[in-house]
A and B are shown apart, each in its own frame.
Chain A
């Protein structure tokens, strides 16, 4: 991969391509796995929400995030 673009969103920035040299390649693969898991479990989406609204993590902020996510999450089909 050549110069993958970096975004400012946590969890979505390119954590690098697996298969690098030795332990750094392994670390990159682990970072990538963690980024994937955080995206699947909406932790990255919450971080993006906090940045977008310039908030710190709190019950109130998370409740607001859940309200924003509610419709999107509820309309998202899960495949058979």
Chain B
């Protein structure tokens, strides 16, 4: 394309993006069309990718297309395999995209669509994408080493230890929160519970089919599994309408929590091929298809956003979760903007597949942009609902009242009209007994998604099918994270305990498998149980804790990245990682302070514990509050330690007291033809 035309094209994209962002930022009073969000996101991502990631590639990281990657140097056809960049992109995206970018934006929609949208756009372009990109590249330059190994090498022992503890903390809290989302989505819902219960025998059948009947035919098996899951959704309707069957699948939150805890233990102890791998394939199949379908649905229907740009709840009084828009919007939405967890994947399988350094830009930066787009779609799905309906679904009974009348009166009194009859009709339309107090984000997302799908594909008659498809899709996602996370956590605990007593480190020794599985499941199971028993809805206190721990890992990643950039002699460009690091520190420290010390009993753990103690409340809840405060304190202490150790290292390098060299694999010229990147 001729240069003037190219400049004109980018100018047009910039103008369109600016216009769209201005529209969503300035518009007040009248509902706006969801396409403004889509255009704002698309243009922002294009500009960010073309210019900012290009700047980072050229100036900060100096990507070298002539340098052989570990996939080429260490190629073994197993872990290290030079792979086409589009294939790696898809592989990486499938690994980073989970339920987080769907749930977080739905919860944050209580502030209106504006704060979440702006954070998703800015957070991704300047934070999340940068983190994924630089960590991927730094891992590629270090033979595909993991974040914890790089942290130990570059920052020191404290860095390595903190990274390890951060990963364990995140996994435990993440799994507890994820399981709670599933419980809230399935409680008293025979249709949803039946469908999800059926995915277990379906996954087992897939495992046996794959191993015994059609070895290696994973795609074929996944298609078969998908068809069976569709039948299970259809069968769920029958189950919910047949009283003798429905009673078996109508479970309260506590029973569901116990079932999920037992399931998590079984999934961790069973062979990978039998349950974990087939469920992973099935979940990936459904995930990629549904995300594509949702994108098509939004573009085809281009619905109107009913939620205002800003709600009165930016002052922290929101019913979905307590806390001001700063810092809690930035904690609630982690995965769609910045997710520390991605740094584990960017320093896991992906760097071992990268064929050329220059491709880290598209894979690292680009895949996170795609994930961010998923978060924008989730925001749209939540905001197409009437605000009154959104709040009725997402508000815990402890906040808005136990009965439909009390809840509608409270929500209407806040300026978001909703009537019990409409909620009842909506519940009937989606095949549920009630949609009140379905906290956790998943049911609201499912209703929004069903609304979008049923208006573009099939009409109102199939709204119940779409709703349960969305519930199944999210629950499947989450249970896959639960399976995989429990196992990863188990391996990490076994690695650590192996230093204490060798047999405990043996991953095939069953006593060790059972003991460490019980340890990990017990840890996240505790958080789940705590969430189920919390009268304010559990997710209220646990989701921010998850956000804090996830962003702690992002802080570790940015500390590592800033250290390496400074040691590379590129201190003048350190702001690229230092700026998001400072922002994250501000957000996590502020959020943690509020969660521990805030006098508002809906926010502060300690003030809530004091209130309960004063009224002779439940001793377990008081203990839970104090435990949450201690966990938050430990997380913050870890942040402080790694920050101090990193900052000391930076000062030593910048003042010349420490050599600025970086530990990288030695340069080897690539044997591949060199691709010219633009």
Cross-chain pairs A/B with CB under 8 angstroms, 30 sampled: A4-B84, A4-B673, A5-B673, A7-B81, A11-B87, A12-B82, A12-B353, A13-B84, A14-B84, A18-B86, A32-B87, A43-B219, A45-B78, A48-B77, A48-B78, A52-B77, A59-B212, A62-B210, A73-B272, A73-B277, A74-B488, A74-B491, A75-B488, A76-B95, A76-B484, A77-B341, A78-B280, A79-B95, A79-B339, A80-B178
Tell me the complex Cα distance, A47–B270, Å: 26
* Nearest Cβ on chain B to A8's Cβ, whole angstroms: 9
A1-30: contact bitstring with B at CB < 8 Å (1 yes, 0 no)?
111110101011111001000000000000
Question: Which residues of chain B from 652 to 674 have any CB-CB distance to chain A below 8 Å in the complex?
Answer: 671-674
Q: Enumerate chain A residues within 8 angstroms of B79, measured Cβ to Cβ.
A: 72
- A79 and B219 in contact (CB under 8 A), knowing A11-B87, A36-B86, A74-B488? no
Q: Are A36 and B91 in contact (CB under 8 A)?
A: yes
Which residues of chain B in 338-389 are interfacial with respect to chain A, using CB atoms and an 8 Å cutoff?
Answer: 339, 341-342, 344-345, 348-349, 353, 355
Tell me the bound Cα distance from A10 to B561 in angstroms: 34
Q: Which of A11, A32, A66, A74 contacts B211 (CB 8 A)?
A: A66
B281 CB contacts on chain A under 8 angstroms: 41-42
Q: What 6 new A-B contacts, CB under 8 Å, besides A12-B82, A48-B81, A74-B276?
A: A4-B672, A13-B84, A35-B87, A39-B90, A79-B341, A80-B100
Interchain CB contact under 8 A, B82 and A7: yes
| Chain B min CB distance to A61 (Å) | 7
A18 CB contacts on chain B under 8 angstroms: 86
Contacting residues, chain A, for B355 (C-beta < 8 A): 5
Q: Which of B86, B285, B484 contacts A77 (CB 8 A)?
A: B484
Closest to B221 in A: A41
CB distance from B449 to the nearest CB of A (A): 19
Q: Is there an interface contact between B95 and A12, defined as CB atoms closer than 8 Å?
A: no
Compute how far the CA of A37 lies from the CA of B288 in the bound complex, rounded to whole angstroms: 10
| Contact pick for B84, options A2, A35, A59, CB 8 Å | A35
- B495's nearest neighbour on chain A, judged by CB, is A75
Determine if B276 and A57 form an interchain contact, defined as CB atoms under 8 angstroms apart.
Answer: no
Check A4–B219 contact: CB distance below 8 A. Answer: no
Given A4-B675, A40-B91: A76 and B83 within 8 A (CB)? no
Within residues 184 to 202 of chain B, which ones have a CB less than 8 A from any CB in chain A?
Answer: none
Chain B residues, Cβ within 8 Å of A11: 87
Interface size on B, residues (CB 8 A): 70
**Chain B residues with CB below 8 A from A47, complex form:** 216
- Contact assessment for B84 and A57 in the assembled complex, using a CB-CB cutoff below 8 Å: no
Once bound together, how far apart are the Cα atoms of A12 and B78, in whole Å? 12
- Pick from B87, B171, B484, B485: contact of A39, CB below 8 A: B87
Q: How far is the CA of A49 from the CA of B79 in the complex (A)?
A: 11
CA distance A7 to B82 in the complex (A): 7
Closest 8 CB pairs of A and B: A62-B215, A5-B672, A36-B90, A80-B100, A3-B673, A41-B218, A78-B484, A46-B216
B98 touches A9 (CB 8 A): no
Given A37-B219, A40-B94, A80:B481 Cβ within 8 A: yes
User: In whole angstroms, how far apart are the Cα atoms of A5 and B354 in the complex?
Assistant: 12
CB contacts under 8 Å to A, within B145-165, are none
Contacts of A75 in B (CB 8 A): 487-488, 491
Which residue from B94, B219, B335 sits with its C-beta under 8 Å from A80?
Answer: B335
Q: Are A76 and B87 in contact (CB under 8 A)?
A: no
CA distance A29 to B227 in the complex (A): 26
Please state if B87 and A12 are interface contacts (CB–CB under 8 Å).
yes
B169 within 8 A of A: no
Give the complex CA separation of A68 and B481 in angstroms.
22
| Distance, CA A2 to CA B661, complexed state (A) | 34
Q: What chain B residues lie within 8 Å of A70 (beta carbons)?
A: 271-273
CA distance A36 to B93 in the complex (A): 11
Chain B residues numbered 455-493 whose CB sits less than 8 Å from any CB in chain A: 480-481, 484-485, 487-488, 491
Question: Complex Cα distance A72/B277, Å?
Answer: 11
Name the A residues within 8 Å of B345 (CB-CB). Answer: 77, 79
Q: How far is the CA of A1 from the CA of B362 in the complex (A)?
A: 14
The minimal Cβ–Cβ distance linking A69 to chain B, given in whole angstroms, is: 8
Do B480 and A58 touch across chains, with their CB atoms under 8 A apart?
A: no
Q: How far is the CA of A66 from the CA of B210 in the complex (A)?
A: 11
Interface check B550, CB cutoff 8 A: yes
B588 within 8 Å of A (CB atoms): no
Chain A residue contacts of B90, Cβ below 8 A: 36-37, 39-40
Q: Does B97 contact A (CB under 8 A)?
A: yes
Nearest opposing residue in chain A for B481, CB measure: A78
Chain B residue at minimal CB-CB distance from A3: B673
Contacts A72-B79, A77-B485 given; does A43 touch B216 at CB 8 Å: yes
Interface: B137 (CB within 8 A): no
Q: When the two chains form their complex, are residues B488 and A77 in contact, meaning their CB atoms are under 8 A apart?
A: yes
What residue in chain B is nearest A13 (Cβ atoms)?
B84
Q: Are A43 and B218 interface neighbours, CB within 8 A? A: yes
Q: Once bound together, how far apart are the Cα atoms of A13 and B273, in whole Å?
A: 27
List the A side residues contacting B488 at CB < 8 Å. 74-77
List the B residue with the shortest CB-CB distance to A34: B219
**Inter-chain contact B675/A76, CB cutoff 8 Å:** no
Q: Which residues of B contact A36 (CB under 8 A)?
A: 86-87, 89-91
Task: Decide: A80 and B507 in contact? CB cutoff 8 A.
Answer: no
Check if A80 sits within 8 Å of B99, measured CB to CB.
yes
Closest to A67 in B: B273
Give Cα distance in the complex from A11 to B87, angstroms: 9
A9 to B352, CA, bound (A): 14
Q: Name the residue on A nearest B177 (C-beta).
A: A80
Contacts of A1 in B (CB 8 A): 675-676
Docked pose: A18 CA to B85 CA in angstroms: 12
Closest to B83 in A: A12
List, in ascending order, chain B residues with CB within 8 A of A77's CB.
171, 341, 344-345, 348, 484-485, 488
In angstroms, Cα B618 to Cα A62, docked, is 54
A18 to B87, CA, bound (A): 12
User: Given A76-B95, A79-B97, are A40 and B284 neighbors across the interface (CB < 8 Å)?
Assistant: yes
Alpha-carbon distance A47/B218, docked complex (angstroms): 12
Using A79-B95, A79-B341 as known contacts, say yes or no to A74 and B87 having CB atoms under 8 A apart: no
- Does A79 lie within 8 Å of B211, measured CB to CB? no
Q: CA–CA, A8 to B335, complex, Å?
A: 36
Residue of B nearest to A18 (CB): B86
Q: For residue A16, which residue of chain B has the nearest CB?
A: B84
Contact A78 B98 (CB under 8 A): yes
Tell me which residues across on chain A come within 8 A of B219, comparing CB atoms: 37-38, 41, 43
Whether A49 and B484, one on each chain, are in contact in the complex, defined by CB atoms closer than 8 angstroms, is no
Contact check, A68 vs B99: say whether CB atoms are below 8 A apart: no
Q: Assuming the A-B contacts A66-B273, A70-B273, A80-B174, are A39 and B215 also in contact, with contact meaning beta carbons closer than 8 angstroms in the complex? A: no
Instruction: Please measure, in the bound complex, the distance between the C-alpha atom of A12 and the C-alpha atom of B354, giving whole angstroms.
Output: 11
User: Is there an interface contact between B81 and A12, defined as CB atoms closer than 8 Å?
Assistant: yes
Q: Are B675 and A2 within 8 A (Cβ)?
A: yes
B215 in complex: contacting residue of A5, A40, A59, CB < 8 Å: A59
Q: How many Å lie between the Cα of A19 and that of B342 in the bound state? A: 30
